Amino acid sequence: MSGKLKPSLDCKNPFQDLKIASWDPLRRVQRSPCPLCGRSRKYYCYDCYVLVGVTRELIPTVALPVKIDIVKHKEEASGKSTSAHAKILSPDWVTIYQYPDMPKYDKTKTVLIYPKEGSLTVEELVASVKGSSSSSARSTPLKELERVVFIDSTWSQSRGMCIHDNLSDLVCVQLKDAVTCFWRTQWESKHYLATIEAVYYFVKEYHDHSSTQAYDGEYDNLLYYFAYQYNVVQGAISQREENMQRKRPAVEDTTEDKPSQARKHPKTAQ
Q: How far is the CB of 40 from Zn ion (least distance, A)?
A: 10
Segment near Zn ion (CB under 5 A), from 37-45, 84-92, 194-202, 253-261?
37-45
State which of positions 48-77 bind Zn ion (CB under 5 A): 48
Q: How far is the CB of 56 from Zn ion (least distance, A)?
A: 16
State which of positions 163-202 bind Zn ion (CB under 5 A): none
Is 121 strand, coil or helix?
strand
Residue whose CB is less far from Zn ion, 35 or 141: 35
Q: Residue 34 interacts with Zn ion (CB under 5 A)?
A: yes
Report the first-to-last Cα separation within the chain, whole angstroms.
Answer: 52
Q: How far is the CB of 49 from Zn ion (least distance, A)?
A: 8
Q: How many residues bind Zn ion (CB under 5 A)?
A: 6
Q: Residue 251 interacts with Zn ion (CB under 5 A)?
A: no
Helices (H), the chain: 24-27, 83-89, 122-130, 155-161, 195-210, 224-247, 249-257, 259-264
Among candidate residues 66, 68, 56, 126, the one with its CA nearest the CA of residue 97: 68
Residue whose CB is less far from Zn ion, 45 or 173: 45
Q: Residue 244 interacts with Zn ion (CB under 5 A)?
A: no
How far apart CA 114 and CA 116 sit, in angstroms, is: 6
Q: How far is the CB of 50 from Zn ion (least distance, A)?
A: 6
Segment near Zn ion (CB under 5 A), from 43-51, 159-167, 185-193, 252-260?
43-51
Among 6, 13, 33, 37, binds Zn ion (CB under 5 A): 37
| Pairing of the two strands 171-174 and 94-98 | unpaired
How far apart CA 251 and CA 265 sit, in angstroms, is: 8
Please answer whether residues 2 and 123 qualify as being in contact, where contact means their C-beta atoms are separated by less than 8 angstroms. yes
Q: Residue 1 interacts with Zn ion (CB under 5 A)?
A: no
How far apart CA 225 and CA 65 sit, in angstroms, is: 20
Q: Write out the residues near Zn ion by the rule CB under 5 A.
A: 34, 36-37, 45, 47-48
